[in-house]
Structure 1
C-alpha cells in the first residue's frame, strides 16, 4: 500500500493536529474545503471531532450521510457514478471488479445511499487499512485483478469531481471509445472530424440514453452499452462531452 499523505489522530493528538486531519478529510471526501454555509451545518460534528469526542471514522460517517455530501455526489449523479465516488472517497480506490459494483448497486437500490456509505466504512477492508483514526487517502494496491483495475483506480484518484461528468463511470469509458485523459471525454476522431449539428430528435436521444443509464443496475447498463449502435454511441459520447 502507498502510505504517503497518511494522517492519523489519537487521544494524544493536539488541537492543531486534529485541525490538519479535518482539512485532509474534506480534501479527500468533498475534494474541497466546505463553503461558509456548509461549515455552519457541520459545526456540531466538527466541534466533537476537534474536542476528541468522535474519531475519524465516525466523522466520515456523519459527513457522508449529510446533505452536503449527498447533494454533490448522489442526487445529481447516476447510481454507478455515485458508487465509484464512494469507493474513491472512503476506500481510496476504484471498485475492483463487477461483482463489487453489483453488490454495491444492489445495496444502494434496496437500502439507499447512507447504507452504502455505512457498509464501506464498516467493512473489514476499511478497518484493516484505516481503522478508526486514519484519514482515507488515495491508495496503490500491491496487487490488482487486471491492468484495467489498476488504470481505473489511478485515473479516478487523480480526477476532480465532475471533471468527467456525473453519469458514466470510468468502467464504461473504453466500451464507448472515449478518451478522457485530458479531462474532457472525447472520441479519438473528434479532432479530425467535426460532429454534425445535433437535431432536436438527436438531443432527445441523448437525454434518453443518459436517463436510461441512470436508472439501470450495473448488469443492465453493461448490456445496453454493449448493444448500442455506432450512432447511439456517438450520441451518448456527445451528451457526456457536453
Structure 2
C-alpha cells in the first residue's frame, strides 16, 4: 500500500503576487483535491465566475474553496447521495487533508450539518484551527505529513481514505465506522468479517453453494452489530428521505 508520504505532492501556495500560470496550476490541484477529478464541460460553465475571479487574483485559495464547496457541482457529487457521516468524512479528506480524528469530532460536525446546514458546515471546516494551521489563506489543501496527525489511528484512517476510490465503499458508512465494527466494505456494501461481497465473490454458502448477499441482508447484518446508543446516533444523522429508504430496505424479506 502506498503511504501518505508517497502520496504527498509538492505544496502549492498562491498569493496575490503569483503569476497566472501558478494560479492555473493551483486551480488544477484544487479540483484534483476537492472534486477528485477535473470538472466536466457543463460543470465548468457553472464554475466559470469563481474560476475567472480566482485566475484574475480577485479571490484567494480559501475563498475559492468555500465557493466550490458551496456549489451544486460539489454538492451533487458528494452530498445529495451520501449519508451525513460519510459526507463529513469526505469533506475532511477534501478540505482538511485528513480523516476525522474520532467519533467526537464527527458528531460535532454532524451537529453543525443537521442544525445549520451544509454550507455552514463546510465554512466551519475552512475556518477551523486545523485548516488555518496547515494551509492558512494561500495554500491548497493536501494530505498532512506523517508527524502532524493527532494520533496513529488518524494517520491510518487517512491512508485508507486517501486510497479509497470515489464511491468504492458506498455512500453511507464512513471508514471509521466500518473499522470500528470490523466490517468488510470493499465494493460499496458492508458485510461482517469473512463475508466477501460483489465482484463475483461468494459471500455465504447454503449447502455448499455460494450465494450473493443482498443489500437488505447486508444492512440487517450491519445494524445487528450496533448497540441502541449507536443506532440512535446513526438514525439522527439521516434525513427524512434517507430514513424512508432505510425503512424500505429493512422491510425487504431476507432470502
Q: Report the equivalent of 1:61.
A: 66
Q: Which moved more, 1:170-179 or 1:84-93?
A: 170-179
Consecutive unaligned residues in structure 1, runs of 5 or more: 223-234, 237-242
CA distance, structure 2, for counterparts of residue 76 and residue 4 of structure 1: 30
Q: Report the equivalent of 1:240.
A: none
CA distance, structure 1, for counterparts of residue 15 and residue 150 of structure 2: 34
Consecutive unaligned residues in structure 2, runs of 5 or more: 236-248, 251-255
Tell me if the contact between 1:8 and 1:135 (Cα under 8 Å) persists in the aligned partners. Answer: yes
CA distance, structure 2, for counterparts of residue 32 and residue 86 of structure 1: 15
1:42-57 map, 5 Å: 42-57=47-62
1:65-214 map, 5 Å: 65-142=70-147, 144-180=149-185, 187-190=193-196, 194=204, 197=211, 204=216
- The superposition leaves residues 156-182 of structure 1 with CA deviations (integer Å, 9 ceiling, x where unpaired) of 122222021111000112344334578
TM-score by length of 1: 0.78
By how many angstroms is 1:95 displaced? 0.6
Please give the secondary structure, in 2, of the residue aligned with 1:142.
helix
The alpha-carbon distance between structure 1 residues 117 and 145, as it changes in their structure 2 partners (threshold 3 A), is same
The alpha-carbon distance between structure 1 residues 179 and 118, as it changes in their structure 2 partners (threshold 3 A), is same
Q: Report the equivalent of 1:19.
A: 24
TM-score by length of 2: 0.74
Q: Which moved more, 1:58-67 or 1:122-131?
A: 122-131
- The superposition leaves residues 136-159 of structure 1 with CA deviations (integer Å, 9 ceiling, x where unpaired) of 011134254543322111111222
- The superposition leaves residues 55-99 of structure 1 with CA deviations (integer Å, 9 ceiling, x where unpaired) of 000000000000110111111000000010010000000011121
Tell me if the contact between 1:76 and 1:166 (Cα under 8 Å) persists in the aligned partners. Answer: yes
CA distance, structure 2, for counterparts of residue 207 and residue 183 of structure 1: 12
- The superposition leaves residues 107-135 of structure 1 with CA deviations (integer Å, 9 ceiling, x where unpaired) of 00000111110001111221121111110
Q: CA RMSD in A?
A: 3.4
Tell me if the contact between 2:204 and 2:212 (Cα under 8 Å) persists in the aligned partners. Answer: no
Q: Report the equivalent of 2:233.
A: 220
CA distance, structure 2, for counterparts of residue 149 and residue 219 of structure 1: 25
Please give the secondary structure, in 2, of the residue aligned with 1:132.
coil
By how many angstroms is 1:13 displaced? 1.2
Q: Report the equivalent of 1:36.
A: 41
